[in-house]
Amino acid sequence: MKTKKLVAAMLLIGLCLVSQAQTNSQKSSDPDNLAKEYFSQIMGVAANATTNTKLYQFVYEWLGTPYRLGGDSKRGIDCSKFSLAVYENVFNTTIGYNSRNQYQNVTPVRKGELEAGDLVFFKIRSRNITHVGVYLGDDKFAHASSSRGVMVSNLNEAYWKRYYYNGGRPKVDDAKIMTADANPKEKSNLN
């Protein structure tokens, strides 16, 4: 009798393990989950923080693009044109053409309240805003670095921590919302 109970218990445990393995394989075969896991690894952002696949895909496609002051193409781009391109292509909205102008078009957000897609601003050796990036989550942001081109950096690195000024979320009017949908119902407008 003891042997039958032992065999039954082992079969039950085996079925549970097989069921769990099937559930995990179904999750990883979901294209959205696969994309989130991939971008999570590439950009160093936790998979559960990777909420906007379109944002991460856009950033990924631009990684390594060289820096060029005033540039706005994959041959070369500067930080404000990169953030502008992100907003035009991912969120279907326009935010301004330089970092200071972009800051005028945002509602300030505390560092601890940043969400994917928010802008992060820096005052590098200046009293004025001189650099902008797009927050990705987990203290990571994408930007066009003058030394390394489009890349992902960490807000907690000493350099960025030293020059960090503020975060911001683009202003939108009440009737429209900022969206990452490819076919939004209404295009958002900034104040």
Inter-residue contact 177 to 169 (CB < 8 Å): no
Place of tokens 């390594």: 64
Cβ atoms 60, 91 nearer than 8 A = no
Query: Which member of 77, 79, 85, 106 is catalytic?
Result: 79
- The CA dihedral of 79, 80, 81, 85, to the nearest 10 degrees, is 100
| 138's tokens | 């987990």
Q: Which of 154, 147, 155, 158 is nearest to 64 (CA)?
A: 147
Catalytic residue among 43, 56, 98, 131: 131
What letter does residue 22 receive in the DSSP assignment?
H
Identify whether 79 is a catalytic site residue: yes
Type of residue found at 90: V
Residue of 36, 81, 140, 143 with catalytic role: 143
Q: Which residues are catalytic?
A: 79, 131, 143
